[in-house]
Structure 1
Amino acid sequence: MKYKSVMLLLAIVVSSIGSLCAKTMAPSFDNQQKKKNVLVVGGGGSHDFDRWYKIEDTKLINTMADVNAIYTDNTDSIRFYLKTTDLLVLTNNQPISKASQVAIEKFVAQGKPLILLHAAVWYNWEDWSKYNLEYVGGGSKSHENFQEIKNIVVNTAHPINQGVSPEFTFKDELYRHEPNATGKGIDVLVISQSLETAKVYPAVFTVNHDKARIVGITLGHDEHSHLNKDYRKILINAIHWALNI
């Protein structure tokens, strides 16, 4: 009995230390500034998340005068950050703990906005079907070979497409994104067309969620997209639209 008590106490201590580290050792928002807080979450496989999402995209977001963005690849910390977050940007394909899943669901249910970049519009989490049904409106299970693709604006009136070239091309993974008829519907803003097969798929879209503004962007494998002026314009516009600023 003494052994079990000691082990239980040890487990509680370890859990408490882990939670404390998640809250105190990670980057934090500057609460002195009257800006909108944007949390960018990355990490996982098949992409250089640090280079393109932590450094490039987060730096770009922080050029906006009314926004303060930080990046983390510690998905356990999401539930702590969301208490002071105005916009959540998911780019990751690594596991998200149940506690953080619940926190994200509460965040969106409160009408807080969500932007999903590239790997985050994939079918990543078998234990979280609600994610793809309600927040992605479908998803991707495969992509074409990395090659040149054509992107075509199909809704020129939408704020996310303001200042974006009517057509632009770069090398990327063309995600075979398929809307799910049983999930939330999507409004397609930009399509990607394969120069190999001529098939087209949603590239930029909004999700018809009844409470929150949600944007999905399937583009974004590496420097060919992240350094492209139209990708960068879409990302900035999406943040403005999602935050309604």
Structure 2
Amino acid sequence: MKLLAGLALLLITAGHALGQNKPIRILMVGGGGSHDFARWYGQEDKKTIESTGKYSVTYTEQTDSIPAYLKQTDLLVLTNNQPINAQGQAAITKFVEKGHGLLLLHAAVWYNWEDWPAYNLNYVGGGSRSHETFQEFKDYVVNPAHPITQGVPAKFGFKDELYRHVPDPAAKGIEVLVIGQSIETDAVYPVVFTVKHRKAKIAGITLGHDEHSHQHEAYKKLLINAVNWVANE
């Protein structure tokens, strides 16, 4: 009997260990205009995130499939600017309001959906309607104590679209972690931030137009840190 009890305990312990080693399931939604979503998000960012060994990333541009995918998802990454139908909007809202993590990359912090104002108000805390000329600009870490900025140079730069990101005073607020400063105008905008939400962890990164960002070490570090933070890792 003692031997059987010991074997049972061993099997239970092994089962728990295997469960703990399962990768966190990420759904990344891309697609739309003005960017090569499949190349830089579906391939490059997926590779960067999965290089940690902690995550399994499913990339899709089929926004009609969002409700089905979210049933098998732990963390949602939105990068797209293409339409999301009412069912997809409702599924995302339900997912976030349950407290699941949300990471918004580049095009997803835009004012994309006039039929879904709650998205920008509640999940972006504002948004972008334009950007400065594609060029190199300087980024400055303004909150070096936050987990998302750990290991990121205090100052870095590469060619990208500097989004003219503006917080919405009607929203619950954002915490700015990194700012970008235009070389042409000296204007300063948030480029990495977290969004205040009652249950979910939400972060936004406005950087990410093409290879200049996605293959830059500072961007990759920010991406991994943001995924870890949103996932509570």
Q: TM-score, normalized by length of structure 2?
A: 0.90
Matches of 1:196 and 1:164, distance apart in 2:
25
Who is 2:94 aligned against? 106
d(CA) in 1 for partners of 2:122, 2:206 = 17
Shift of 1:96: 0.3
Name the Cα RMSD after superposition.
1.0
Q: What SS is found at the alignment partner of 1:84?
A: coil
- For 1:118, the equivalent position in structure 2 comes to 106
Task: Look up the equivalent residue of 1:72 and give its one-letter code.
Answer: T
Moved more, 80-89 or 58-67: 58-67
**Contact 1:121-1:136 within 8 A present in 2 as well:** yes
Q: Does 1:55 align with 2:43?
A: yes
Q: Please give the alpha-carbon distance, in whole angstroms, between the structure 2 residues aligned to 1:43 and 1:187.
A: 27
- Taking the TM superposition and a 5 Å limit, the aligned residue runs for 1:128-143 are 128-143=116-131
CA distance in 2, matches of 1:55, 1:67: 14
1:213 pairs with 201, 211, 219, which one? 201
Residue 139 of structure 2 corresponds to 151
Q: Does 1:243 align with 2:226?
A: no
Q: Which runs of 5+ in 2 are unaligned?
A: 1-18
The equivalent position to 2:73 in structure 1, one of 85, 97, 110, is 85
* Shift in Å, 1:61: 1.1
Distance in 1 (CA, whole Å) between partners of 2:83 and 2:173 is 25
Distance 2:168 2:64 in 1: 29
**C-alpha separation in 2, matches of 1:66 and 1:230:** 20
Shift of 1:185: 0.3
Distance (whole Å) between structure 1 residues aligned to residue 192 and residue 87 of structure 2: 29
Of 15, 24, 38, which residue of structure 2 is paired with 1:36? 24
Distance (whole Å) between structure 1 residues aligned to residue 39 and residue 70 of structure 2: 24
> One-letter code of the match for 2:213?
S
For the Cα contact (< 8 Å) 1:122–1:141, is it kept in 2? yes
Quick one: which of 43, 46, 66 aligns to 2:54? 66
Unaligned runs of 5+ in 1: 1-30
Q: Matched residues in 1 for 2:204 and 2:54: separation?
A: 22
Amino acid at match of 1:110: K
CA distance in 1, matches of 2:215, 2:182: 20
Q: What amino acid does structure 2 have at the position aligned with 1:39? A: L
How far off its partner does 1:95 sit?
0.1
User: Deviation per CA, 1:82-101, whole angstroms, max 9, x where unpaired?
Assistant: 11111100000000010010
One-letter amino acid of the counterpart of residue 81, structure 1: Y
The sequence identity of aligned pairs, in percent, is 64
Instruction: Give the superposition deviation at 1:193.
Output: 0.4
Shift of 1:184: 2.4
Distance 1:179 1:218 in 2: 13
Distance across 2 between alignment mates of 1:66 and 1:137: 29
Give 1:151's aligned amino acid: D
User: When the two structures are aligned, how many residues end up with a matched partner?
Assistant: 214
Partner residue of 2:6? none
Correspondence for 1:180 among 164, 168, 185: 168
Which aligned segments of 4 or more residues in structure 1 are displaced greater than 3 angstroms? none
